[in-house]
Structure formats: structure tokens, C-alpha cells
């Protein structure tokens, strides 16, 4: 797909995402307990997630008829072709259900296994983070870049607390203690796509979390890369999309965050 074609597709995709976000916002406070299902421990879903996903899938099928899908709620056949949309229709569902104003739509498009387009739309602030391959990253059409913070001690980090997979909780608490003592602070918003978008625009200097799914990270990781940052898994390789672990940051602090995370999660197991 050419750069011009990508730009046209991005514009149409962002409008579809904004329209879907309007639907989600109108449902805040209206979902009843009986409307909420538990997919797994502390993993919640409501009709809002499913209807939002259906709207997005239908729209993207019209925009790119030959495309396939990987989606959180599996309202469409999950398959992989030349073009594949990776969709989280409501990242931060628990926040949404509790009316905490941090939740987003996350959408990425891959061509032959490589991400070429990413959008994270934080619904409450109406902030649209977007990028196409080789074009840089933007927030509401204004170019963004990762922070220039040089040291860990000056860094503000983001993370996600384990909420269903506690297999790595001891290692997580070990590295969390280190960062509490050696950074400017840590924030936990409860929506990984938003955390990653905030790294892309320099609000956070870095982010780490384990037990994430592709739809949680595909768009946000791409935004960071287009904004000049780095993304890896916990051992420094590039298996962050399907490897269920992510370290992200600007070029100065990524390696420092990675070193502590890698030591806590992998060196301790070797020892």
C-alpha cells in the first residue's frame, strides 16, 4: 500500500473510530450488572464492547474488503491475510464500567505481518493518536515525539498491575520496588493502549507490563516507534506483540528499564 493510500485509509479509519467512540461515550453509566459477563478472572465484557467491535469491523470491511481480523471480542472470524486489522474496541473496560475516565479504542493494521497504521483514541479527552508507516506520529494532527528524558531518576513510568495472571507477580513486585525507589514516579491508568500512546507523546518516559494481548499493544507500540521510541519484550527482542510482555520508552531510558525488568523476570529464574 502506498503512502498516499495509507493516509486516505487512516483518515477514514479515524472517522469510523470517532463515530464508534461517540456510541461508547453515550453508554457510560448505563450498563447494568446483569449486562456484564466475566470472560476470565477480572476480565469483563459488556454489550458495549461487542457492539463497538461490530461497528468497527463492519466499517473496516467496507474500507478494505480483502482485510482479515484479530479482535478481542471475536465477533468476527479470526484469521490472517495480507491485510489484518487488530482491534480492541474498548481498552479499559473495567474503567468504563466503573465510570473512571480512561478508556480507549485501539486499532492497528498489518500488511504481510508488518504494522503500517495505528490509532489509539482516548474517548474521554477526545484525543486521537495516529500514525502510518514512515510518517511520524500525531495527536489530533499535531506531530508528537517521545520524551528526551535522559535518566531513570528523572523518568515518570507507567505500568499495569497483574489482575488475572499472577505467575510473575513476585518478579513484578521486585522490579516495581526498584522503580518506586529510583524514578520520579509510577502511574497505573488501567488501559495499556493509553499508556503506550502517552509514551509516544512524551507524557510518560517508559512503560512495562506482562500478560498483554496483541490488541492491547499493536497500535500503541507502533505509535511509539513512529514517535522515535523503542519497544521490546522483556529480554530485548521484538516479540512484544504476541509474547505477552512489553517494555517501551524513549531511546535514553528504554535500555535502563529493560535491564531491570529482564533481571527481575529472567535472571532470577536462571539463578
DSSP state of 73: S
Q: Check residue 267 and give its pLDDT.
A: 79
Give me the residues of the chain with pLDDT under 70, please: 40-43, 268-271
pTM of the full structure: 0.95
Q: Check residue 164 and give its pLDDT.
A: 83
Determine the CATH number of domain 152-270: 3.40.190.80
CA angle 190, 122, 67 (to 5 degrees): 100
| Nearest-angstrom CA–CA distance, 258 and 255 | 5
CB atoms within 10 A of CB 74: 11
> Any idea where the domains of the chain sit in the sequence?
3-144, 152-270
Closest CA to 75 of 101, 45, 43: 45
CA distances for 16 relative to 47, 107, 184, angstroms: 19, 11, 38
Domain 3-144 bears CATH identifier 1.20.1250.20: no
Q: Identify whether the C-beta of residue 230 lies closer than 8 Å to the C-beta of residue 177.
A: no
Taking only the tens place, the pLDDT of each residue in 159-187 is 999 888 899 999 999 999 999 999 999 99
Taking only the tens place, the pLDDT of each residue in 236-270 is 999 999 999 999 999 999 999 999 999 999 975 44
b/e map 237-249, b = 16+ CB within 10 Å: eeebbebbbbbbb
Q: Check residue 41 and give its pLDDT.
A: 64
Q: Check residue 42 and give its pLDDT.
A: 64
Amino acid at each position: 500500500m502506498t503512502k498516499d493510500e495509507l493516509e486516505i485509509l487512516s483518515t477514514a479509519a479515524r472517522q469510523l473510530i470517532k463515530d464508534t467512540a461517540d456510541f461508547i461515550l453515550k453508554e457510560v453509566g448505563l450498563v447494568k450488572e446483569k449486562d456484564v459477563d466475566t470472560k476470565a478472572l477480572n476480565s469483563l465484557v459488556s454489550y458495549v464492547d461487542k457492539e463497538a467491535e461490530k461497528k468497527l469491523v463492519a466499517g473496516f470491511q467496507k474500507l478494505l474488503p480483502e482485510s482479515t481480523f484479530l479482535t478481542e471480542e471475536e465477533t468476527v472470524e479470526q484469521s490472517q491475510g495480507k491485510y489484518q486489522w487488530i482491534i480492541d474496541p474498548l481498552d479499559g473496560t473495567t474503567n468504563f464500567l466503573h465510570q473512571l475516565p480512561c478508556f480507549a479504542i485501539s486499532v492497528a493494521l498489518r500488511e504481510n505481518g508488518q504494522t503500517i497504521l495505528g490509532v489509539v483514541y482516548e474517548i474521554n479527552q477526545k484525543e486521537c493518536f495516529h500514525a502510518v508507516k514512515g510518517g511520524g506520529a500525531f495527536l489530533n494532527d499535531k506531530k508528537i515525539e517521545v520524551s528526551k528524558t535522559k535518566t531513570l531518576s528523572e523518568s515518570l513510568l507507567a505500568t499495569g498491575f497483574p489482575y488475572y495472571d499472577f505467575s510473575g507477580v513476585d518478579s513484578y513486585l521486585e522490579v516495581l520496588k526498584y522503580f518506586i525507589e529510583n524514578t520520579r514516579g509510577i502511574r497505573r491508568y488501567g488501559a495499556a493502549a493509553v499508556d503506550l500512546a502517552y509514551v509516544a507523546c512524551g507524557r510518560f518516559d517508559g512503560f512495562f507490563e506482562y500478560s498483554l494481548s496483541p490488541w492491547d499493544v499493536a497500535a500503541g507500540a507502533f505509535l511509539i516507534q513512529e514517535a522515535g521510541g523503542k519497544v521490546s519484550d522483556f529480554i530485548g527482542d521484538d516479540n512484544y506483540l504476541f509474547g505477552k510482555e512489553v517494555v517501551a520508552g524513549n531511546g535514553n531510558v528504554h535500555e535502563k528499564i529493560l535491564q531491570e525488568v529482564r533481571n527481575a523476570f529472567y535472571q532470577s529464574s536462571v539463578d
